[in-house]
Every structure is written in C-alpha cells, then in structure tokens.
C-alpha cells in the first residue's frame, strides 16, 4: 500500500468514527429538580434532546430516568393488524386525544417506540385485566424488559 492510500484510509476511518460518536448520547442527564418543577422542560430535554441515550435500553431504564410516576399509558397503534409500535406514557392525569393532536398543549407524556412492531395479543389481555387509563405495577412489569427503539416527546 502506498503512503497516500494509507492516509486516505486513515482519514475515512477517522470520519466514520467521528460520525458514529456524534450519534451517541452526548448530553448529560438532568434531574427533575434541575428544572424547577417544569415538567415540560424536563421531558423535552431528557427525552427529546437526549433521545439517542435510550436506544437499545429497556423501558425500566427509561422509567427510572423519568423520575415521575406514570399516571397512565396508551398503546401506539400500527397499520398492521394485531401489532403496536410503542406506548405513550403520561405523567399527568389529563391525557386525551386532544393532548396528542394539539401541539400547543404542554407535553406531559413521552413516546416510547419499539425497534420492531410488537404483538398486541398479550397487551390486550393485560388491558382487559388492568385498564390502561391508570398505571399499575402490572403495567410496569409487562413493559419493563421491552427494548427501546426511540424515545421522544414530539
């Protein structure tokens, strides 16, 4: 190999390494107390600006960082029959379709998407036993080991 070829390969390797590093989590986590109890700012910073920090982690890890007790959740529907793509986790009691559809309303929920669509059958059994409008320990137990594809507040 010539010297020029080695330099080109080294430069390409450096560029690829730099791009890979920039896609990783590079913003520090900030506790809820750092936001003077501003839930919206806390959620946007930790779960929108730091979205890459949660890829490949479990829902349990996301909920630990959430620091706020979930109030409820809603499955995120898919166009495929009997599949869903994730959940909205609400941290206040006033969730509704209006909140999701009206971007001017304060963001009091986070989206947790799976890397691949999940089967709705087991979730439906859970919903029939424990309604999804109130968060209970069984919901945490059901979701805690799911791998996260993306987290956001939109």
Strand 72-77, strand 109-119: pairing: unpaired
**75 with 121: CB under 8 angstroms?**
no
- Give the distance, in angstroms, between the CA of residue 136 and the centroid of all CA atoms in the same chain: 19
What is the rounded distance in angstroms from the CA atom of residue 5 to the CA atom of residue 111?
A: 46
SS3 call for 1: coil
> In terms of C-beta density within 10 A (0-12 exposed, 13-18 middle, 19 or more buried), how is residue 35 classed?
middle
Name the pTM for this structure.
0.76
Torsion angle of C-alpha atoms 92, 97, 103, 108, degrees rounded to 10: 10
Q: What is the C-alpha to C-alpha distance for residues 30 and 14, in angstroms, rounded to an integer?
A: 31
pLDDT by 10s per residue, the chain, length 154: 666 766 666 565 555 554 444 456 889 999 999 999 888 899 999 999 999 999 999 999 999 999 999 999 999 999 998 999 999 999 875 544 444 555 555 568 899 999 999 999 999 999 999 988 889 999 999 999 999 999 998 7
The residues, any chain, with a CB within 8 Å of residue 65's CB and separated by 6 or more, are 29, 46, 54
Let me know if 72 is exposed, middle or buried by CB neighbors in 10 A (0-12, 13-18, 19+): buried
| Other CB atoms within 10 Å distance of the CB of residue 64 | 11
Q: Please, which residues have CB within 8 angstroms of residue 126's CB and are 6 or more apart in sequence?
A: 138, 139, 142
């Amino acid at each position: 190999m010539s010297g020029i070829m080695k330099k080109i390969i080294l430069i390409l390797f450096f560029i690829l390494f730099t791009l890979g590093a920039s896609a990783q989590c590079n913003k520090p986590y900030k506790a809820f107390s750092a936001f003077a109890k501003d839930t919206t700012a806390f959620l946007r910073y930790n779960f929108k600006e730091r979205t890459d920090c949660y890829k490949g982690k479990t829902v349990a890890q996301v909920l630990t960082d959430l620091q706020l007790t979930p109030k409820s959740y809603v499955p995120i529907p898919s166009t495929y029959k009997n599949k869903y793509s994730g959940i909205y986790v609400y941290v206040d009691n006033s969730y509704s379709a209006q909140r999701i559809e009206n971007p001017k309303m304060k963001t009091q929920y986070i989206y947790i998407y799976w890397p691949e669509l999940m089967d709705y059958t087991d979730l439906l059994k859970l919903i029939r036993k424990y309604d999804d409008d109130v968060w209970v320990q069984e919901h945490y137990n059901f979701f805690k080991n799911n791998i996260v594809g993306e987290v956001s507040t939109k």
